[in-house]
Chains A and B, each alone.
Chain A
Amino acid sequence: MSARTSVTRREFLRSAGEVGGALVIAFHLPPREASAAVQAGTALAPNAWLRVASDGTVTLTLDRSELGQGTHTALAMVVAEELEADLSKVRIGPMPENPAAWSRGMTTGGSTGVYTSYDILRKAGATGRAMLTAAAAATWRVDPSACRAERGVVIHTPSRRRLAYGALVARASALPVPSDPPLKNPRDFRLIGTRQHRLEAPSKVDGSAVFGMDVKVPGMLIASIEHCPVFGGSLVRFNAERARAMPGVRQVMALDGIPWKGSGGAWGVGRTPGIAVVAESYWQARQARAALDVEWDAGANGSLDSDGIRAELVRLSTGPSVRVRTVGDPSAAYGSAPRHLDAEYETPFIAHVPMEPMNCTAHVRADEADVWAPTQNQTRAQQVAAEAAGLPVERVHLHTTYSGGAFGRRLESDFVAEAVALSKAVGAPVKVVWTREDDIRHDFYRPATWNRLSASLDAAGRPVAWTHQIVAPSIDLKFGPLQNGVDESLLTGAMELPYAIPNVSLDLVAVDLPVPLGYWRSVGLTHNTFVTECFFDEVAAAAGQDPFELRRSLLADKPRHLRVLELAASRAGWGSPLPAGHARGIAVCRWDPTTCAEVAEVSVAADGAVKVHRVVCAIDCGQAVNLAGLEAQVQGGILYGLQAALYGRITLRGGRVEQGNFHDYRVLQMADAPVVEVYVVPSSDRQGGIGEPPVGPIAPAVCNAIFAATGRRIRSLPIVAAAP
C-alpha cells in the first residue's frame, strides 16, 4: 500500500483535540521519515501515535487487531521498554477508523504483528524518553546527560530529584524532536524478553471486553440469514409470508451472492446468496428464519462431493504440473539409486471455527457509514463496506472490536458486506449474527490436498533424491487468476524443505474448484509440514536410522533448525525410556525466519484410540518480547493444529458441507489436551512471528509417534476418521 500524506478533516480535528496537555509523538508504519513529534496546530498527519498524558497514562494507537494472539501486549511492552514507561500505565487506544489513510495495509495475519512494528515502536518510545528527559533537564537547568528515565519518572542522578512524566509533557511537547535518539542496548531490557500479564485480561474475566457480537447501537436491529447451502447456487424463489407475520420481524429480503474469487488483485468478497430476516431481537430473527420457505437452484455444483474432488485431484496429478523448485537432477538420481520409497499423502478441507461466530454491525446513512467489525483485515473490510454502501471509502468509519478468535477466517469480509447491505436497505443500524451452522457451512476452508512423494536412498541409506508433487485447489484465486499456475500459499513449508538432499523437486498442480478457500492459521505450512515431515520419517525408517539423528545429520548447515531440533529432543528426553505403550515422534519446520521443533509423546490404546500426553516445543523467533504471551501462542497453536490433525474434516455432498456444529465438527476438549512445554531459544537472529510456526510440526510429530508406537503410518488426515 502506498504511503499517504493527507488525512481527512475529521481525523485532523480529532487528533488535534487530543493534543492539549499531552506529548504526542507521531510516527508512520512503516517509517517514511524520521519520527516527528507533532504539536497542536502544526501539520498533523499521524498514521500511528503515542500519547503521554498529563496523568502519566501512555496511549498507543496501533494498526493490529487483538484476536487473542497477544500482539497488543507485546507492542505495548516494546514502547514501554524504550519510553521507560510504567507498563501498567500503557493503554492501547482504539484502532484508527480510516484504514484507507493508513500507510500500510491494515491487516493482522501471517504472524507479522510484532516484528513489523518492533523497530519503529522502539524508536518512537526512545524519542519520547529523550524529549521527556530533556524537559526535566530544562526544568532543573541541568545537563540532560546527568538525567535518566526510569519507569515513568525522570531522575537527576546527582541530586536524586525526580519528576514524573505526566508533569513533563507540557514542556516536552514544546521541544524539538531528536532525529536519532539512542535506543537501549538489548542487554539493558527490563521488559522485552520477560513474562508480562496480558493487558486486556481483566476485561476478559469480568465480561466487559466488547467483541463484535456485543456491539450495541441505539435503534439496532438483528439479522439472521438463511444462506444458499450449495456453493455457487442461486435463489429460485422464496416465500416470507409466515416469517413476516412473526413477532418483531421488520424486513425479509434477498441478498445477492458476490464471488469469493477476486479479480485484478482485489480480494474476493465471497458473500453467499441468502434470505435475510431482520427483526428486533436475535431470537425473533432466528425463529422467523426457520419459517422461511426458500427454493435454491444448486446449479453446476449440485453433484460436487468429497469423493469426486479427491478423484479429480488424483486424476490431475497425472497431468501437467508446474515445477516450482529444482535442486540437482532428481530424475537422474532416481534412476541410479538402489532403493526407492513412494507414498501418497492427503489432507482434507477443514474449517476455522473461532468461538465467536461471524457477525458485523453497520449503520449506513446517506453520506457516511459506521461499521463495527471483529476483523483482522480492516483495509479490505472498509473497501467492501464502501462498495456495499455506495459511498467513498473514507466515508466508512471502521470500528474494530475484539475478535473471539480469528485464525484467518476474519481476513474475509463477507459478513461485513452483509451487514452493510442490510443496514442500507432497512435504513437502520443492523447487526448480522451467524449461527454456528452458518459458520461451519460457509467458511473459507483450508484446501484439501493430495500429494505424491518419492525418495531415493544410496547404498549407505542416505537420501539422495526427494520429489514432491502437490495437487490442491487454489486459495489465491481469491485475488484473480494465477500467474503461471503458481499459488505460493499452497507451497509454504514444502518449498523450505531444509534437508541436505542433493536432488530435490517440487511440483504443483493448482486446481480451480468452486469451494471457497482461505488462509487457515499457518496456511500451507500445516498440510505441507505434515506431508514432508511424515515422509521424512518414512525415509529414516527405511534407512534404519533414528528420525532425530537423521534430521540432525541433514540439517548440519541449518543452525537455526538444528538449535530447535536439538533443544526439543533434549527437553523431551529423546531416546530415554517411556511408559509401556508410549512412543515419541519429532518434527521441525520454519515459518521464515522462525524455526520450531516439536516432540509428541503418544499412546495408542488397543481399540486404536490415540492419546497425546505431552508435547515439547522449542522455538527460535529471534528476540522474543513477551515470554508469557509467546508460551500461550505456542500452546494455542499446537492445540489448534492437534485439533485439526485428530478430528478436522469438512466433507461435501451435493455441493454442500455435511458438518454443521460441534457435534459433527469435533474440536479439542480439556480431557484431550496434552501438556505443552515451551522452550525459547535465546536468539539474536532475525526476528520472526510465533502464532503460526507451532501449528506446523504437531500433526507430523503425533503421526510419527503413532508409527513408533504401532508401526502404522498415517498418510491421510484426520487421525480419528470417524465422527465422535
Chain B
Amino acid sequence: MDPIRLTVNGAVTTVTVAPDTPLLWVLRETLGLTGTKFGCGIGMCGTCTVLLDGEAVRTCMLPVAAAANHRVTTIEGLSRERSHPVQRAWIEEDVPQCGYCQSGQILAAVALLARHPHPTDAQIDEGMTNLCTCGTYQRIRAAIHRAAQGGAR
C-alpha cells in the first residue's frame, strides 16, 4: 500500500490504508475525526457528509484515493469555537436532538448556502436531502434562513 496524501481541515497528512477504503473510515479511524458519522453505507442518509473543495460529498462510498489532491473539510475544521454562521444558527434555533446527523446536515447547509446565499424553501427542499429520524427538519430550515440573513431571523 502506497501512502496517500490528504489535505484535511487545512493540514496535509499522509495515510497508509487500502486505497479503496472509504474516506469516512479514514477520517474516523485513521485520523480520529469522529464528528463525521456512519449511517447507511450506501450514500443515502448523508451523516457522512464532508466538504470536498467546498462541495458537500458523502464519504461512506468515496474511496480515500479519490480524495487525494482535494481539500477535505470536516465538522471539526469548519470553524474555531463553533463560530461559523451555520453553526451559530444551529444553536440559536436549537436544531439538534440526538445530534447524530447534524455534522452532515451542517456541512450540507454550508454547501447549499455557497450555491444559494439566500435559498428559497424549494431550494432547501432540493438541496437538503440528508436524513434525520428525530425530525429536526423544520428547525434546520429555520436555521438555514437565519444563517442566510447573517444570523437574524
Q: Does B111 contact A (CB under 8 A)?
A: no
User: Please, how many angstroms separate the alpha-carbon atoms of A82 and B69 in the complex?
Assistant: 56
Inter-chain contact A662/B25, CB cutoff 8 Å = no
CB neighbours (8 Å) of B21 from chain A are 281, 283
Once the chains are docked, how many angstroms separate the CA of A632 from the CA of B142?
A: 13
Q: How far is the CA of A661 from the CA of B39 in the complex (A)?
A: 10
Give the residues from 392 to 444 in chain A that come closer than 8 angstroms, CB to CB, to chain B: 402-407, 433, 435-436
Most chain A CB within a 10 A radius of its CB, from B37, B39, B44: B39
Do residues A209 and B134 form an inter-chain contact, with CB atoms below 8 A?
no
Q: Judging by beta carbons under 8 Å apart, are A205 and B100 in contact?
A: no
For residue A502, CB closer than 8 A to chain B, the reply is no
The answer, among A198, A356, A639, A663, for a CB contact under 8 Å with B44, is: A663
Chain A residues lying within 8 Å of B103, measured Cβ to Cβ, are 207
For B101, what are the chain A residues with a Cβ–Cβ distance below 8 Å?
355, 404
Is the CB of A357 closer than 8 A to any CB of chain B? yes
Q: Is the CB of B91 within 8 A of A205?
A: yes
The residue that A197 contacts in the complex, of B39, B94, B128, B131, with Cβ under 8 A, is: B94
CB of A667 within 8 A of chain B? yes
Closest to B80 in A: A206
Q: Is the CB of A213 within 8 A of B135?
A: no
Smallest CB separation, A72 vs chain B (Å): 12
**A403 and B98: CB pair below 8 A?**
yes
B82 within 8 A of A: yes
Fill in one digit per residue for B48-78: 1 if any A CB lies within 8 Å of its CB, else 0: 0000000000000000000000000011101
User: Is residue B45 within 8 Å, beta carbon to beta carbon, of the partner chain?
Assistant: yes
Residue of A nearest to B78 (CB): A206
CB of B138 within 8 A of CB of A675, answer yes
Q: Select one of B34, B37, B41, B135 contacting A636, CB under 8 A.
A: B135
A197 to B143, CA, bound (A): 14
- Interface pair B94/A206, CB less than 8 Å apart: no
**Distance in angstroms between the alpha carbons of A209 and B22 in the assembled complex:** 23
Contact indicator A353/B135 (Cβ below 8 Å): no
The 0/1 profile, CB within 8 Å of B marked 1, for residues 664-687 of chain A is 000111110101100000000000
A92 to B17, alpha carbons, bound, how many Å?
Answer: 39
Q: How far is the CA of A205 from the CA of B86 in the complex (A)?
A: 9
Given contacts A201-B94, A673-B138, contact A211 B125 (CB under 8 A): no
Q: Which residue of B lies closest to A210 (CB)?
A: B34
Contact check, A676 vs B37: say whether CB atoms are below 8 A apart: no
A467 contacts chain B at the CB level, 8 A cutoff: no
Partner of A661, one of B42, B82, B98: B42
**A205–B96 contact, CB under 8 A?**
yes
Establish whether residues A669 and B39, one from each chain, have CB atoms under 8 Å apart when the complex forms.
Answer: no
Task: Give the number of residues in A that approach B within 8 Å (Cβ atoms).
Answer: 63
Judged by a CB distance under 8 angstroms, whether A12 is at the interface is no
Q: Is A3's CB within 8 Å of the partner chain B?
A: no
Residues of B within 8 A of A213 (CB): 34, 37-38
**A613-642 interface code vs B (CB 8 A; 1 in, 0 out):** 000000000000000110011011111100
Do B129 and A247 touch (CB < 8 A)? no
CB of A606 to closest CB in B, whole Å: 21
| Contacts A69-B97, A357-B39, A433-B38 given; does A638 touch B47 at CB 8 Å | no
Q: Does A145 contact B (CB under 8 A)?
A: no
**One of B41, B94, B102 near A628 (C-beta < 8 A):** B94
Q: Of residues 158 to 207 in A, which have CB atoms within 8 Å of B's CB atoms?
A: 197-198, 200-207
B74 near A663: Cβ-Cβ < 8 Å: no
Cβ B32 vs Cβ A404 within 8 A: no
Question: What's the Cα separation between A407 and B45 when bound, in Å?
Answer: 18
- Is there contact, CB below 8 Å, between B133 and A667? yes
The reply to whether B94 and A402 form a contact with Cβ atoms under 8 Å apart is no
Residue in contact with A402 in the complex, picked from B41, B45, B98, B138, CB distance below 8 Å? B98
In the complex, A479 has a CB within 8 A of chain B: no
**Is A67's CB under 8 angstroms from B98's CB?**
yes
Q: Is B4 interfacial (CB-CB < 8 Å)?
A: no
Q: Is the CB of B98 within 8 A of A436?
A: no
Residues of A within 8 A of B74 (CB): 207
Tell whether, in the assembled complex, residue B82 and residue A202 are in contact, meaning their CB atoms are under 8 Å apart.
yes
Instruction: Please report whether the interface of chain B is mostly helix, strand, loop or mixed according to DSSP.
Output: loop
Chain A residues within 8 Å of B124, by CB: 670
Closest A residue to B83 by beta carbon equals: A206
Whether the Cβ atoms of A282 and B25 lie closer than 8 Å is yes
Asked if A355 and B137 sit within 8 Å, CB to CB, the answer is no
Across the interface, B75 reaches (CB within 8 A) one of A206, A222, A628, A667, namely A206
Q: Is the CB of A283 within 8 A of B135?
A: no
Q: Return B54 CB to nearest CB of chain A, in Å.
A: 18
Taking A643-B133, A668-B135 as contacts, is the C-beta distance between A205 and B37 under 8 angstroms? no
Tell me which residues across on chain A come within 8 A of B126, comparing CB atoms. 671
Shortest Cβ distance from residue B111 to the other chain A in the assembled complex, whole angstroms: 14
Q: Are A68 and B98 in contact (CB under 8 A)?
A: yes
Which residues of chain B are within 8 angstroms of A402 by Cβ–Cβ distance? 98-99
Is A144 interfacial (CB 8 A cutoff)?
no
Alpha-carbon separation in the docked complex, A210 to B82 (Å) = 17
A403 to B91, CA, bound (A): 19
CB pair B134–A68 under 8 Å, yes or no, is yes
Contacting residues, chain B, for A201 (C-beta < 8 A): 90-91, 94-96, 99
A640 partner residues in chain B, CB cutoff 8 A: 133-135
Q: Is the CB of B135 within 8 A of A635?
A: yes
Does A632 lie within 8 Å of B87, measured CB to CB?
Answer: no
User: In whole angstroms, how far apart are the Cα atoms of A69 and B133 in the complex?
Assistant: 12
By the criterion CB–CB under 8 Å, are B44 and A636 in contact?
no
Interface string of A356-380 (1 = CB under 8 A from B): 1100000000000000000000000
Across the interface, name the chain B residue whose C-beta is closest to A629.
B94
Q: Is B141 an interface residue (CB 8 A)?
A: yes
What residues of B have a CB within 8 angstroms of the CB of A283 in the complex? 17-18, 21-22, 25, 29
Structural contact, A207 and B75, CB atoms closer than 8 A: yes
B73 CB, min distance to chain A CBs, angstroms: 12
Residue among A197, A206, A354, A356 making CB contact with B87, cutoff 8 Å? A206
Task: Tell me the bound Cα distance from A404 to B37 in angstroms.
Answer: 10
Whole-angstrom distance between the Cβ of B9 and the nearest chain A Cβ: 11
A639 contacts B40, CB within 8 Å?
no
Q: Is B148 an interface residue (CB 8 A)?
A: no
Are A667 and B38 closer than 8 Å at their CB atoms? Answer: no
26 interchain pairs, CB-CB under 8 A: A197-B91, A201-B99, A202-B82, A206-B76, A207-B34, A209-B99, A213-B37, A213-B38, A216-B34, A282-B28, A354-B98, A355-B47, A355-B132, A356-B37, A356-B100, A357-B39, A405-B98, A436-B45, A635-B138, A636-B97, A636-B134, A639-B137, A669-B129, A670-B124, A673-B137, A673-B138
- Which 6 residue pairs of A and B lie closest in terms of their CB atoms, listed nearest first? A207-B35, A404-B100, A68-B98, A639-B135, A204-B99, A68-B97
Name B residues whose Cβ lies closer than 8 Å to a Cβ of A: 17-18, 21-22, 25, 28-30, 32-42, 44-45, 47, 74-76, 78, 82, 87, 90-91, 94-103, 106, 124-126, 128-129, 131-141
Interface residues of A (CB under 8 A from B): 67-70, 197-198, 200-211, 213-214, 216, 222, 247, 281-284, 353-357, 402-407, 433, 435-436, 628-629, 632-633, 635-640, 643, 661-663, 667-671, 673, 675-676
